[in-house]
Amino acid sequence: MEASVWIERSNTMNLKNTALGIELGSTRIKAVLIDENHISIASGSHEWENQLVNGVWTYSMEAVASGIQDCYAGLKRDVQEKYGVALTEVGAIGISAMMHGYLPFDKDGNQLAEFRTWRNTITGEAAAKLSTALNFNIPQRWSIAHLYQAILNKESHVKDVAFLTTLSGYIHFKLTGAKVMGIGEASGMFPIDSQKLDFDQEMIDRFDALSGMDWKLRDILPKVLCAGDCGGTLTEAGAFFLDPAGDLKPGIPVAPCEGDAGTGMVATNSVRERTGNVSAGTSDFAMIVTDHPLGVHREIDMVTTPAGAPVAMVHCNNCTSDINAWVNLFSEFAQLIGAPQDKGALFTMLFRKALEGDPDCGGLVSYNYFSGEGVTDLDEGRPVFARTPNASFTLANFMRTHILSALATLKIGLDILTREEKVRVDKLYGHGGFFKTPGVGQRMLSAAIGAPVSCMETAGEGGPYGMALLAAYMVRKNDGESLADYLDNRVFANAASTTLLADQADIAGFNAFLARYQSAFAMEKAAVEGL
């Protein structure tokens, strides 16, 4: 019966009615193709990892090119196998990637320095000076912090910078030749004026006065576009870059590139005021669309939705990497005893086991810091696990500890928004790999925030799907139709979702765990200093 369904769909499939979203995440590049009903119909992926090279977390541009090409090739195969159709065109394309970072080029298009990702915590001096000079929180991961740190360090290349972009901006340029960027992604480069929907000119002027460079910042930044704008069209060179086999036709409209924060907001229908989402994977972050101005907090990024509305963002550098490391250890043990386990199934088993643990994790504590953490003011991190002598050291408590640890720093930042700034949230959605096991990550996040958390069916694959939706919105929107209305009325009107509210025992348990986490934090600092 399934085969007959595929045959029927292939006979009616119109590639011009599709939209393609590709997202370059920290550990995976994924492509999602959606149909005219905004349903995912095919996908491709490529696994990759960042490299620590000379103290800098980076990906080579060779790895970027080969990775996105392998991802697209997988999508082509999926379309061919499912529908018997050669993927030669789509209706629209959109590229997204991990936000922030530093990719500088000279006037001839030569890359001037290694790609410095969001994960680096090497711009403390620049971030502090810029935050003071601009009266605006500039986190270490932001592109402008990396640029100014390079200036402060007197790096020889900075005088030659003619174009500064992010990873998604780079791929967009390769596909279209256009130096443009979606406003959500741009808001992680430099502060945005949400009234003018552009970089804040007054702050640009302050930076130029501070930098002492011959070039002007405005001249090296990409042009800012909003959701619904056209970001250019796929060139012949761009088509060949994405599909070296030469099957993909040029001329396809390309949406403004976005960051993973913005695509997560779109994928969870959280672009209206007082809605929010939590994305949890290699890093985790909460995005809350605000309805009133906020004060300046070191722990809070002020960014925007892909439509330009102001968003308070709590961004934590560390989330699931430590969990992944422990699951790999359990996988190795399973191999050793002759009972190898599928990695996905192992994650599911261990996450479900965590539900059996004590609400406060029974005297265990862990710090998941593979890298530095801005929220807790650490430039470097070390994964640490500890327990009291009388702790209930069970597998359930062990797993629960690492899951709660993945949310602890996020909780600290969210408390600033809800308690100090009185930010109100009507709806909160979770998405990302952390939520793939039904009912576990969702319940733990609810315990952390003390409020209901919803997950849609696309919770595990939000980013590329959100980018595909932005591409579809660009070519299908009606005159005057906002992104929020498009999502409400044409995408998510009948979307299936689950909502969970943790019980009081879970909420009290998380608070007890967090108190232990904060009281023992000197242990994490000592580990950084001593290891």
- What does the domain layout of the chain look like in residue ranges? 1-91, 95-240+251-256
pLDDT at 528 exceeding the cut of 90: yes
User: Phi/psi at 28 (nearest 5 deg)?
Assistant: -150, 140
Q: What is the pLDDT of residues 251-293, one digit of tens each?
A: 999 999 999 989 989 998 999 999 999 988 888 889 999 988 8
Q: Angle at Cα 164 formed by Cα 121 and Cα 316, nearest 5°?
A: 30
Residue 405 has pLDDT above 90, yes or no: yes
Task: Label each residue of 298-350 as H, E or C.
Answer: CCCEEEECCCCCEEEEEEECCCCHHHHHHHHHHHHHHHHCCCCCCHHHHHHHH
User: Was domain 95-240+251-256 assigned CATH 3.30.420.40?
Assistant: yes
Element housing 469 (H / E): helix 462-476
Give residue 456's pLDDT band: very low, low, confident or very high (50, 70, 90).
confident
**What is the identity of the amino acid at 497?**
S
Is 90 exceeded by the pLDDT of residue 9? no
Q: With cut-offs at 50, 70 and 90, classify the pLDDT of residue 316.
A: very high
State the pLDDT confidence band at 425, using cuts at 50, 70 and 90: confident
Is the Cβ–Cβ distance between 33 and 75 less than 8 Å? Answer: yes
- Pairing type for strands 93-97 and 19-24 reads parallel
Count, residues in the chain: 531
Cα Rg of the chain (Å, integer): 23
* Fold annotation for 1-91: Nucleotidyltransferase; domain 5 (3.30.420)
What is the rounded average pLDDT of the residues 197-205? 98
In which band, very low, low, confident or very high, does the pLDDT at 7 lie, cut at 50, 70 and 90? Answer: very low
Q: Is residue 412 a contact partner of residue 375, using CB atoms and an 8 Å limit? A: yes
| 145 closest CA partner among 5, 298, 327 | 298
| Cβ atoms 320, 277 nearer than 8 A | no
Q: How far is the C-alpha of 272 from the C-alpha of 259, rounded, in Å?
A: 18
* Distance (Å, whole) CA 106 – CA 101: 17
336 CB burial (10 A radius; 0-12, 13-18, 19+) = exposed
pLDDT tens-digit readout, 97-135: 999 999 999 999 999 999 999 989 899 999 999 999 999
Cα 429 from Cα 278, distance rounded (Å): 6
What mean pLDDT do residues 23-48 have?
Answer: 95
Closest C-alpha to 7, from 121, 83, 98: 83
Q: Which two tokens stand for residue 43?
A: 């996908």
Count Cβ atoms below 10 Å from residue 339 Cβ, excluding itself. Answer: 8
Q: How confident is the model at residue 236 (pLDDT cuts 50, 70, 90)?
A: very high
Q: Is the pLDDT of residue 229 over 70?
A: yes
User: Which pLDDT score is estimated for 190?
Assistant: 98
Arithmetic mean of pLDDT, 394-412:
97
CATH topology identical between 1-91 and 95-240+251-256: yes
Question: What pLDDT digit, counting tens, does each position of 484-526 carry?
Answer: 999 999 999 988 889 999 999 999 999 999 999 999 999 999 9
Name the pLDDT band for 10 (thresholds 50, 70, 90): very low
Q: Is the confidence at residue 372, as pLDDT, over 50? A: yes
How confident is the model over 310-318, as a mean pLDDT?
A: 92
Angle at 58 between CA 54 and CA 59, to 5 degrees: 130
